[in-house]
């Protein structure tokens, strides 16, 4: 290998990492905008989120293609291989995050047509901000290579679950109190679920960052056995009277 080849290889790897970071920035913006579009009943913003999602899909395909080519042609080892595999994994999580943000925005369009339900949309907003923060923190950890940041996100997974559980209870009470809200509340229910899943993707990303830096798998079970456990919501429904 001559110097030129070596340089190009390093460039390719850096470019891959930079593209993942950019994709992360876009995914972060999509989640924040989707949540804002719910809170402000902003139809134009919701439409913009829906339209922008194709960019994330394209970036995902591009990163995957580049990573596979890099593995095939450059045959990276050790930390370079981990970087490449991490880029592939992260782009999957970010693409899914984008899908979930798009889904929230689509539901925002539907909810904007119904009667405002202030307390509920404020709860969605609070949960959305929490999830956005987790996503921002874990992407910071990725770009700075700081293990502590990734571990902090990983360890605080149950905060999101607590928000989800409280919101779920709130929604059920609302629906039971006024069946005319069932249709709209179902959208909010899925929004909350989507936010919870975005939180799970942030946890996945934390695990991948940990793997990229240390070469080890994440130690032990997730805080609350996410995503399985947190998705059932069995705990909260049982605290409600069997109406």
Beta-carbon contacts of residue 168 (< 8 Å; ≥ 6 apart):
189, 192, 233, 236, 237
CA dist., res. 229 & res. 214, Å (int): 27
Map tokens 């399985």 to a residue: 228
CB atoms within 10 A of CB 17: 20
Half-sphere exposure of 223 (CA within 13 A, CB side): 19
CA dist., res. 62 & res. 67, Å (int): 9
* Shortest CB 61 distance to a copy of itself, Å: 7
- State which residue, 15 or 173, has the beta carbon closest to a copy of itself: 173
Work out whether 1 is an interface residue with a copy of itself (CB under 8 A).
no
- State which residue, 101 or 137, has the beta carbon closest to a copy of itself: 101
Work out whether 227 is an interface residue with a copy of itself (CB under 8 A).
yes
Binding mask 160-199 for a copy of itself (x = CB under 8 A): ------------x--xx--xx-xx--xx-xx--x------
Dihedral class, residue 192 (left if φ above 0, else alpha if ψ from -120 to 50, else beta):
alpha
- State which residue, 119 or 177, has the beta carbon closest to a copy of itself: 177
CB atoms within 10 A of CB 125: 15
CA dist., res. 200 & res. 212, Å (int): 18
Give Cα 240 distance to the centre of its chain. 29
* Shortest CB 117 distance to a copy of itself, Å: 14
Work out whether 217 is an interface residue with a copy of itself (CB under 8 A).
yes
Work out whether 239 is an interface residue with a copy of itself (CB under 8 A).
no
Binding segment for a copy of itself (CB under 8 A), chosen from 3-11, 74-82, 117-125, 141-149, is 74-82
CB atoms within 10 A of CB 225: 14
Work out whether 140 is an interface residue with a copy of itself (CB under 8 A).
no
Work out whether 38 is an interface residue with a copy of itself (CB under 8 A).
no
Nearest Cα residue to 90 out of 15, 157, 27? 27
Work out whether 206 is an interface residue with a copy of itself (CB under 8 A).
no
- Choosing from 21, 43, 48, 71, the residue that interacts with a copy of itself (CB under 8 A) is 71
Give Cα 120 distance to the centre of its chain. 21
Work out whether 238 is an interface residue with a copy of itself (CB under 8 A).
yes
Summarize as ranges the residues that interact with a copy of itself (CB under 8 A).
53, 61, 65, 68, 71-72, 75, 77-78, 81, 85, 92, 99, 102-103, 106-107, 109-110, 113-114, 172, 175-176, 179-180, 182-183, 186-187, 189-190, 193, 217, 227-228, 231-234, 237-238, 240, 242-243
């Amino acid at each position: 290998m001559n110097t030129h080849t070596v340089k190009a290889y390093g460039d390719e790897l850096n470019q891959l990492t930079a593209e993942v970071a950019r994709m992360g920035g876009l995914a972060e913006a999509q989640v924040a905008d989707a949540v804002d579009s719910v809170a402000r009943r902003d139809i134009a913003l919701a439409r913009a989120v829906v339209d922008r999602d194709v960019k994330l899909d394209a970036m995902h395909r591009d990163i995957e293609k580049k990573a596979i080519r890099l593995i095939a042609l450059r045959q990276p080892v050790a930390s370079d291989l981990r970087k490449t595999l991490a880029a592939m994994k992260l782009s999957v999580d970010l693409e899914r995050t984008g899908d979930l943000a798009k889904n929230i925005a689509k539901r925002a369009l539907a909810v904007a047509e119904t009667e405002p339900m202030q307390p509920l949309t404020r709860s969605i907003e609070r949960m959305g901000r929490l999830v956005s923060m987790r996503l921002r923190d874990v992407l910071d950890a990725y770009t700075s290579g700081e293990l502590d940041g990734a571990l902090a996100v990983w360890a605080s997974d149950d905060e999101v679950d607590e928000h989800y559980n409280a919101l779920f209870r709130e929604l059920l009470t609302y629906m039971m109190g006024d069946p005319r809200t069932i249709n709209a509340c179902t959208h909010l229910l899925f929004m909350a679920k989507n936010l919870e899943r975005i939180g799970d993707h942030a946890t996945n990303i934390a695990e991948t960052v940990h793997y990229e830096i240390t070469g080890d798998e994440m130690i032990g079970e997730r805080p609350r056995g996410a995503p399985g456990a947190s998705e059932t919501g069995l705990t909260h429904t049982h605290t409600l009277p069997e109406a």
